[in-house]
Every structure is written in structure tokens, then in C-alpha cells.
């Protein structure tokens, strides 16, 4: 009598294997797409957050530094009085925004209107404890002095440079950190623009200190000659978020007096604008006589 053995079938057929591989590939592709999409979204959110943070930081810093433009208090006990402070007050308050030719020791220093949509340069004067770089420029720790700050863009970086106004006028010899070293305020700056709010000439009888119009730096000299004063500033800046982010349809920006423009590299950019009222200059205008 012969024993009968039953051999069980095991494994998958070729068709089943091919179906399984196809389904696996589809699922894998879906997972990869989700991962890539998450990375792109994360990069975009990170770039947006960084641009927002950098923009808020620089606008806050510029506001804090520029709001005291034109400030000069001859009765301030902390003011260094090694020069004629009454004469210096008149000089500074009539030149809160510095123009080329204002200083004998650096005649080229002054606010500039950038050509063809280029970046502007802003130079302001005030009484202060330090320049925009944090330097004392040779003065005592608690002494305030004639500060001149220059703000400009170089190679996509917003920078500042500080000076002693008395050195610029030839009244004293430079000491401390009076060199031309510029400090970086913010990287990845696409555009920096400034316009100036001017008051009425005293001959018009308007001593409210309110800005009548906003003009560019190349128009300031004529307004100064006519007796008008800068009483406010409007600044605008476009910053880029870092990271390998590409925007399919980049936005178009319109900054102050400039023509509209669209970034060509499809990066992520954000615009910030602010109007800064120069309270010290408004007070000066309101208290002067025609």
C-alpha cells in the first residue's frame, strides 16, 4: 500500500508580485511627495518668518535712532561744552538732514537720492550719547555730543557709519573710533528708500511744524534755502528671507516715490514702510519767529 502525500502550495504568483510592487511604488511616491511638500512649506514658512523678523527689527531700530534727528539741548547738563553750544545748536537745527557741502572736513558726506530706483543714502545730525555704531568717539562715558550718522546700502547690506560733527566742522581733532568703518545693520536688503517731510517757510506764517509735502534728497537744498525744515521722514525697505525659496509669481513693489519693480530672482521678499515724526524739529519750527 502506497502512502499518499499532499504537498501544499506556497509563495505568490508573478502577477501578484507585480501588483504588490506597483502598489508599493505608488505609496512610496505619495510619501516622498508629502515629505518634499512638507520641506518646501517649512522652508517657505521659515523664510517668511525670517523676513518678517528682520524687517520689524530694522524698522524698530531705525525709528529709535532717527526719531531724535535734530535734537539739541543747550541746557542739557550732559552736553559736552568744549565748543560754543549756542552756535552749534543753530548749525545743527538748520541741518538735521545733512547734505553734501555741510561739513568742511568731509564735503561729500550727505543724503543722496539714488538714481533710477537705486538705494538712497540718509545722513542725519543730532545730539547723542553715542553714534549709530555705539561709539563714544573719544568723549566721556556720560557726555553727549554732536553726532552725525550715515545710513546706506552696500552689496545688499544696510550699513551705518558714525561721525563726530565737531571733527567734521574742523573744531577738534578726531579721537576714539572716528574712522570710516561701517557697521552692518541688516543683510539681504533689496531696496532702501527715503523721502523727507518739509514744513512751510516761516515767511508763510505757518509754524505748526506739520509736513506740507514729501520730497527727495535732491530737492532738499532748494527747500532749505527757502527756509523750510525737515520735520518728518518716510523710510521704506525691502528685505529677503533666506533659504532656497523660489516664488512662481514674485510680487511687484512700489516704494514711496519710486517706480514699481519686480524682483528678478523669484526670491521671497517683504516690504516695510514707516513715517517718523521728528518731534524736536517740530518743536523748533513752532518756537521760531518768521
pLDDT at residue 272 is higher than 70: yes
CB 51 within 8 A of CB 102: no
pLDDT of residue 250: 81
* Percentage of the residues of the chain whose pLDDT score is greater than 90: 62
Predicted local distance difference test score (pLDDT) of residue 25: 76
C-alpha distances in Å from residue 1, one per residue of 4, 5, 6, 7? 9, 13, 16, 19
Q: What is the pLDDT of residues 171-212, one digit of tens each?
A: 999 887 666 789 999 999 999 999 999 998 766 666 777 899
Q: With 80 as the cut, is the pLDDT of residue 18 above it?
A: no
Q: Are 207 and 14 in contact (CB under 8 A)?
A: no
Q: Is residue 158 a contact partner of residue 151, using CB atoms and an 8 Å limit?
A: yes
Query: Which pLDDT score is estimated for 135?
Result: 94
Quote the longest CA-to-CA distance of the chain. 135
Confidence check: pLDDT of 148 > 90 = yes
Structural domain spans, the chain: 44-287
- DSSP secondary structure string, 184-208? EEESSEEEEEEEEEE---GGGT--S
Task: Specify whether the CB–CB gap between 147 and 167 falls below 8 A.
Answer: no
pLDDT band at 285 (very low <50, low <70, confident <90, very high): confident
The pLDDT, as a whole number, for residue 22 is: 78
pLDDT at residue number 89:
96
* pLDDT at position 180: 77
pLDDT tens by residue, 238-255? 998 876 667 778 889 999
Global pTM?
0.84
User: What confidence tier does 152 reach under pLDDT thresholds 50, 70, 90?
Assistant: very high
**What average pLDDT does the structure give for the chain?**
87
pLDDT at 251: 86
* pLDDT per position as a tens digit, 78-136: 999 999 999 999 999 999 999 999 999 999 999 999 998 899 999 999 999 999 999 99
pLDDT at 108: 96
Amino acid at each position: 500500500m502506497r502512502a499518499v502525500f499532499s504537498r501544499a502550495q506556497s509563495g505568490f504568483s508573478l502577477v501578484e508580485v507585480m501588483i504588490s510592487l506597483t502598489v508599493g511604488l505608488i505609496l512610496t511616491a505619495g510619501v516622498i511627495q508629502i515629505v518634499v511638500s512638507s520641506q518646501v512649506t517649512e522652508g517657505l514658512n521659515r523664510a517668511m518668518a525670517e523676513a518678517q523678523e528682520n524687517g520689524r527689527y530694522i524698522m524698530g531700530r531705525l525709528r529709535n535712532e532717527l526719531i531724535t534727528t535734530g535734537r539739541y539741548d543747550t541746557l542739557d547738563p550732559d552736553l559736552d561744552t568744549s565748543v560754543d553750544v549756542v552756535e552749534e545748536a543753530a548749525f545743527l537745527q538748520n541741518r538735521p538732514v545733512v547734505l553734501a557741502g555741510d561739513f568742511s572736513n568731509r564735503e561729500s558726506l550727505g543724503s543722496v537720492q539714488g538714481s533710477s530706483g537705486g538705494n538712497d543714502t540718509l545722513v542725519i545730525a543730532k545730539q547723542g550719547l553715542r553714534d549709530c555704531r555705539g561709539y563714544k568717539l573719544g568723549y566721556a562715558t556720560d557726555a553727549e555730543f554732536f553726532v552725525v550718522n550715515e545710513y546706506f546700502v552696500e552689496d545688499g547690506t544696510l550699513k551705518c557709519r558714525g561721525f563726530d560733527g565737531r571733527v567734521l566742522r574742523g573744531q577738534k581733532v578726531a579721537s576714539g573710533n572716528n574712522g570710516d568703518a561701517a557697521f552692518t545693520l541688516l543683510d539681504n536688503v533689496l531696496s532702501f528708500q527715503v523721502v523727507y517731510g518739509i514744513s512751510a517757510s516761516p515767511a508763510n506764517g505757518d509754524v505748526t511744524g506739520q509736513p506740507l509735502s514729501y520730497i527727495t534728497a535732491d530737492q532738499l537744498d532748494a527747500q532749505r534755502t527757502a527756509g523750510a525744515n525737515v520735520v518728518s521722514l518716510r523710510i521704506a525697505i525691502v528685505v529677503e528671507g533666506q533659504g532656497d525659496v523660489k516664488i512662481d509669481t514674485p510680487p511687484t513693489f512700489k516704494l514711496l516715490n519710486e517706480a514699481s519693480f519686480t524682483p528678478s530672482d523669484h526670491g521671497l521678499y517683504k516690504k516695510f514702510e514707516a513715517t517718523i515724526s521728528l518731534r524736536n524739529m517740530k518743536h523748533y519750527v513752532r518756537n521760531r519767529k518768521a
